[in-house]
Chains A and B, each alone.
Chain A
C-alpha cells in the first residue's frame, strides 16, 4: 500500500517560531502537495512539486515556503508562524504512473500557533 506519513499529528508552536512540517512517501511518486484545511474554507493548495528541487505555488503560498531535496520528502516551512496559520495541514503525493493520477493523502498535522 502507498504510504504517506507526516512527522507529527499534533503540534503547538509560538508566534514567530520557525516551523517545519515533514512529509514522506514510500511509493516513488513524482508529485507532492501541501494543503491546509480550515472550517468553512475547505482544502486549499499551498505548494506543490513535480520533482526534486522543483516547486510551484498553489492558491495560498503567502507565509510559507517548501523544500524538496529528495524525491520521497517534501517539507513545508513556516518562516515565522502566526496565529492565522493555525490549521490542519495535509500532505499528498501522486504519479503519472498511477492510474487516474490518484492523490494519496497523509493523516494530517494539526498545528496550533499560540
Chain B
C-alpha cells in the first residue's frame, strides 16, 4: 500500500517569512492533492498535481511535483496569519480517481505575529 510521509510535522514561522512543507511517497504518484484544514473543521482543497515536474500556484501558495513523481513540496511566500492550520497531502493510490485518498499525517503550521 502507498504511504505518504510529510515533513516537518509542525512548523512555527514568523509572519512574513517563507516556508516549505514536503510530502514523500513510497510509490509513484498518479495524482497528488494538497488540502488545508483549520483546526476542528473539514478540509479545503488547495491544488492537485499529476505530471512530473508540474508546478501550480494560487495566491501565495506554490506546489510542485518532482520529475520522478514521488515527492511534492508546498511553498508559502510571505506567510500570513490566515495561512495557519494543518496542511495535508493526499495521494490517489490507483490513478482511477474514484477511490479514497491516502493521506499523510499532516503538517501543523503556526504563524507568529
- Chain B residues touching A, majority SS: loop
B-side residues, CB < 8 A to A, are 1, 31, 33, 35, 40-45, 48, 50, 88, 90, 92, 97-106
In the complex formed, the residue of B with least CB distance to A102 is B45
Shortest Cβ gap from B37 to chain A (Å): 8
Contacts of A110 in B (CB 8 A): 40
Contacts of A31 in B (CB 8 A): 98
Shortest Cβ gap from A19 to chain B (Å): 20
A-side residues, CB < 8 A to B, are 4, 30-31, 33, 35, 40-45, 48, 50, 56, 58-59, 88, 90, 92, 94, 96, 100-108, 110
Asked if B42 contacts A42 (CB within 8 A), the reply is no
Report how far A107 CA is from B88 CA in the complex, Å: 16
Interchain Cβ contacts under 8 Å between A and B, 29 examples: A33-B100, A35-B103, A40-B105, A41-B105, A42-B88, A42-B106, A44-B103, A45-B100, A45-B101, A48-B99, A50-B98, A58-B100, A88-B40, A94-B97, A94-B98, A96-B97, A100-B31, A100-B48, A101-B31, A102-B45, A103-B33, A103-B45, A103-B101, A104-B45, A105-B35, A105-B42, A105-B44, A107-B42, A108-B42
Asked if A42 contacts B104 (CB within 8 A), the reply is yes
Known interface pairs A41-B105, A106-B42; 20 further A-B residue pairs with C-beta atoms within 8 A, sorted by A's residue number = A42-B88, A43-B90, A45-B100, A48-B100, A56-B99, A59-B1, A59-B100, A88-B40, A92-B43, A94-B97, A100-B31, A101-B92, A102-B48, A103-B45, A104-B45, A105-B35, A105-B43, A105-B44, A108-B41, A110-B40
